[in-house]
Amino acid sequence: MEEIKVYKLENEFLKVELLNLGATIKKLEVKDKNGNFRNVVLGFDDIEKYKENPAYFGAVIGRTAGRIKNAELKIGDKVYSLDSNNNGNTLHGGKNSISHRFWTVERIENGLVFSIDSPHLDNGYPANVEIKVSYILNKNELEVRYFAKADSLTYLNLTNHSYFNLSGNPENTIYEDILKINSDYLVGIDENSIPSETIALDNNIFDFRKSKKLKDFFMATDIQKTIANEGIDHPFIFNEKIGRLEIENLESGIKMSVETDNPAVVIYTGNYLQDIGFKKHSAICFETQEVPNLYLNPSFIDENKAYERYTKFIFVQ
């Protein structure tokens, strides 16, 4: 029977603990303004809880079909029902997903490579896939690189699902954090969290093109905020080919930049963390990924086109 193992990476700037279950970031310690290390990601003290809890803190997940549900995925002359595919799908959420599977781990210079393939996934996906995710420490940044290949045409969209609390105290909310993101548009959602429309951010409470305290957002009202249980759970489309955002906690002095070659990021403000024993809005998640627009412009890979993406979490003082 496989067991959860903890793998460590560290240098003078960062300390990281990762699990072979879901290629999960369990802990990420960063120096604060006083030179003390603080853990800035939310997670469980008991690693066994990662097996049973559907929140999959810090795991790599596959955003099946860009979060589109109750629809059909057309690949060549075949049609797949996303409902039935998701129920048994091993790339998205649920007990059979890659976030709840054991990965093979290999050490490389300054990092770790996690890998998994379809025979170890009981794959319900339209193709057989091989996935590798590398975590590399480079001074004050943690770089995550995603690589995958398939044996036939399929849709793939990988991201990391870490929850950041830059104060280092899970009892604190993110209200005092300052967020900035270079994005003119987000994708609106309906009551079922299905992407529904593209929304311009001019005169909108979701506009973070200029640095803004998250408290200002939470004090405002908007139908999209109400739908997301009084928070953010929306894809922001980056304005540039290399997307960037910044978030800072003034109390700790820890500032994190996110850089990615993904075209979008789903920002989630922990709107349901209270359901699993944490405080609501006590952390924020940045799921860098494809724009969830499968219904408009699907992104496919096949045996002749490898999937490669990267995301960097960069910490500055």
Residue type (1 letter), 257:
S
The two three-digit tokens of residue 113, written as one number: 């490579």
In the numeric block, the tokens 């009892």 are attached to 171
Is 155 in contact with 300 (CB distance < 8 Å)? Answer: yes
Predicted local distance difference test score (pLDDT) of residue 194 = 76
What whole-number distance in Å separates Cα of residue 98 and Cα of residue 246? 28
Output the CA–CA distances (angstroms, integers) from residue 4 to 51, 57, 92, 144, 267, in the order listed: 9, 14, 20, 21, 28
Count of alpha carbons within 13 Å of 104, Cβ hemisphere only? 11
> Which residue has 């039935």 as its token pair?
84
How high is the pLDDT of residue 295? 47
Find the catalytic residue in 246, 248, 287, 290: 287
Query: Of 17, 29, 92, 161, which residue is the catalytic one?
Result: 161
pLDDT at 287: 95
Known catalytic residue at 287: yes
How would you list the strands of the sheet with 212-213, edge to edge? 104-108, 111-117, 129-138, 141-150, 307-316, 254-260, 243-249, 178-181, 212-213
Residues of the chain short of pLDDT 50, as ranges, are 65-66, 295
Q: Examine the residue annotation and report whether 92 is marked as an active-site residue of this protein.
A: no
Contact 159, 287 (CB under 8 A): yes
Helices marked H in the chain: 49-52, 82-88, 214-219, 223-227
Look at residues 99, 85, 86, 109 and name the one whose alpha carbon lies nearest to residue 131.
99
Report field, pTM of the whole predicted structure over 0.85: yes
Kindly state the greatest CA–CA separation across the chain: 60
Amino acid 72: pLDDT: 67
